[in-house]
Amino acid sequence: MNISAIEKEKLDLLLELGKNSHPREFAALLSATSGVISEVHMIPGSIGGPTSAQIPFDMVPINLGIVGSAHSHPNGAICPSEADIHFFAVSGSCHIIVGYPYGSDDWRCFLPDGTRYHLGVV
Ligand SMILES: [Zn+2]
């Protein structure tokens, strides 16, 4: 794990995406510069369902340098589901979940095994 923080602007964008997608989920992939998450990639064809979000990985350009993912939990429970853990395992090391009501504290970051990870905001 060499990701230490996310740009505040990108965190705000993720919370905004959650709000705009509500009551459905959104899903995106994240890439970083010098250990700071600096890009949010909305992948064409991502499915935002009421209980799970899926990303078609054959649509992901391999050179994006993906370090993790972000998705929303419209039910406000900010902890990874079993399906999330399976998804985390194949999509990088740092995974953000934002939850209803998408306020500035309504997000958490997790490692691929589902344990909490303290991600800074810069
Ligand atoms: Zn989830």
C-alpha span between 80 and 99 (Å, rounded): 11
Cα of 110 to ligand 1 centre, how many Å? 11
What stretches in the chain show pLDDT beneath 70? 1, 44-64
pLDDT value for 94: 94
The single residue of 7, 16, 25, 82 carrying the catalytic annotation is 25
- Residue 84 corresponds to which tokens in the numbers above? 């999330």
Question: Quick one: pLDDT at residue 61?
Answer: 63
- Minimal CA–CA distance to 107: which of 44, 31, 23, 16? 16
In this prediction, residue 57 carries a pLDDT of 64
Burial category of 24 from C-beta neighbours within 10 Å (exposed 0-12, middle 13-18, buried 19 and up) = middle
Tell me whether residue 25 is one of the annotated catalytic residues.
Answer: yes
Count structural domains, the chain. Answer: 1
- Rounded to the nearest angstrom, the distance between the alpha carbon of 101 and the centre of ligand 1 is 15
Ligand 1 centroid to Cα of residue 35, in Å, is 24
Q: What CATH number is given to the structural domain containing 37?
A: 3.40.140.10
* Euclidean distance between CA atoms 71 and 69, whole angstroms: 7
Instruction: Return the pLDDT at 109.
Output: 98
Report CA(95)–ligand 1 centroid distance (Å). Answer: 10
Say how many Å lie between the CA of residue 90 and the centre of ligand 1.
14
User: Is residue 26 within 8 Å of 18, Cβ to Cβ?
Assistant: yes
What residues contact residue 40 under an 8 Å CB cut-off, 6+ apart?
Answer: 10, 13, 14, 17, 28, 29, 30, 70
| pTM as predicted | 0.89
Domain hosting residue 103, numbered range? 5-121
